Amino acid sequence: MLTVEWDNDKGWGKPHINPVQNLSIHPAAKVFHYAVELFEGMKSYRGHDDKIRLFRPMENMERMVRSAERVCLPNFDGRELVQCIKKLISIDQSWVPHSTEVANALYLRPTFIGTEPCLGVARSKNALLYVITGPVGPYYPTGLKPINLMADPSYARAWPGGSGMYKMGSNYGPTIAVQDLAEQRGCQQVLWLYGEDHEMTEVGTMNLFLHWINKQGEEELITAPLNGIILPGITRSSLLHLGREWNEFKVSEKVYTMEQMIEALSENRVIELFGAGTASVVCPVARILYKNNWIDLPVGDENSLTQRFYNELTDIQYGKKPSGWMEDITDINSTDTRVNMSG
């Protein structure tokens, strides 16, 4: 694991890489009492050419810096942290799966916590940034298996002026009880709605996309806008870029509601609905439990947009298609550990 300490008076300390161990933290540390914490989720991939690559790591770093600013943790140099992560991967490279199976990767969890041992709602004068890793397989071992969603408007994940656009643990803990309720009702994930119009926002920990024919007769891919209640997902950004690059259908970031989708279903205008995120890449939706009624959705085949996005993105991640989104671990045998974390 990688660890770097920060002190309000001394600034950033020297990064250390050691075997995974328990953390020794004072019980009054602000992370335990006021959720002064944030994290990121990213992966490194071993390509068909045996090279190990990171997928858009600076996007994660920029999001992490924004989250740190929101929770009043110190700024840091994202590029320097990426270099530290590359060094960590070089040491843990045997854990990056050797496999022809797509979706095997080394998961990386950068985490940033306030460690000042002082009760009181205020900035933390001490902090710890650490990164742990672990090999992962396909999120859905059986492939792109469609899932069921529970959409209950009595629960909200985020709201304007809140912290829903940041990747903080405090956004996730309160959703567990709702996830449990969804599972009790035969659903795998929660479709988070917002407002009186029941805006469709996110699904579980994924961004949500609707592929349909709009009222103007245009084929369109839509996802909720970055209006403060949506996490700016790296996969979300990637799919929007690919869709616009292909230029075969309209791509929109705008508010859309359950009523609009249900109306489109009744008019046979919905093509498919799917989630997108780091864990699963994409995930098709088969049914939604809404107001105690099941809504059936069309599910695409091997020629669907969901499958096309999955194939394109995984081909990039595993080095089958060249892309500026991938960073080689070029210094995999480097012994240079000089870094400056100051932002």
Residues 206 and 295 in one domain: yes
Which tokens sit at 192?
């988070």
- Contact criterion met (CB below 8 Å) for 264 and 270: yes
Same domain, 112 and 162: no
Q: How many structural domains does the chain have? A: 2
Q: At 143, give phi and psi (nearest 5°).
A: 100, -160
What is the per-residue pLDDT across 156-197, written as a single tens digit (0 to 9) for each? 999 999 999 999 999 999 999 999 999 999 999 999 999 999
Per-residue pLDDT of 78-87, as tens digits, reads 999 999 999 9
> Nearest CA to 55 among 174, 195, 292, 233?
233
**Radius of gyration for the chain, computed over Cα atoms and rounded to the nearest angstrom:** 21
pLDDT tens per residue across span 26-68: 999 999 999 999 999 999 999 989 999 999 999 999 999 999 9
Q: Tell me, yes or no, whether 211 and 105 share the same domain.
A: no
Same domain for 295 and 230: yes
Q: Does residue 8 sit in the same domain as residue 89?
A: yes
Statement to judge: residues 104 and 39 lie in one domain: yes
Domain containing residue 252? 147-300
Same domain as 122, residue 23: yes
Q: State phi, psi for 317 to the nearest 5 degrees.
A: -65, -35
Same domain, 292 and 191: yes
The overall average pLDDT reported for the chain is 95
pLDDT at 103: 80
Q: Is residue 309 part of a domain?
A: no
Confirm whether 32 is domain-assigned: yes
Residue at 307 is within a domain: no
Tell me whether residue 342 is in a domain.
Answer: no
% of the chain residues with pLDDT over 90: 90
Same domain, residue pair 155 and 219: yes
Higher pLDDT: 340 or 316? It is 316
User: Are the CB atoms for 138 and 104 separated by under 8 Å?
Assistant: yes
Do residue 245 and residue 274 come from a single domain?
yes
Neighbours of 324 (CB within 10 A): 7
Q: Give the CATH number of the domain where residue 90 resides.
A: 3.30.470.10
Query: Is residue 316 situated within a structural domain?
Result: no
Contact of 76 with 343, CB cutoff 8 Å: yes
Whether the pLDDT of residue 7 is over 60: the answer is: yes
- Based on the fold, state whether residues 126 and 166 are members of the same structural domain: no
Does pLDDT of 142 surpass 70?
no
What pLDDT is recorded for position 335? 42
Q: How far apart are CA 104 and CA 101, in angstroms?
A: 6
H or E segment to which residue 129 belongs = strand 126-136
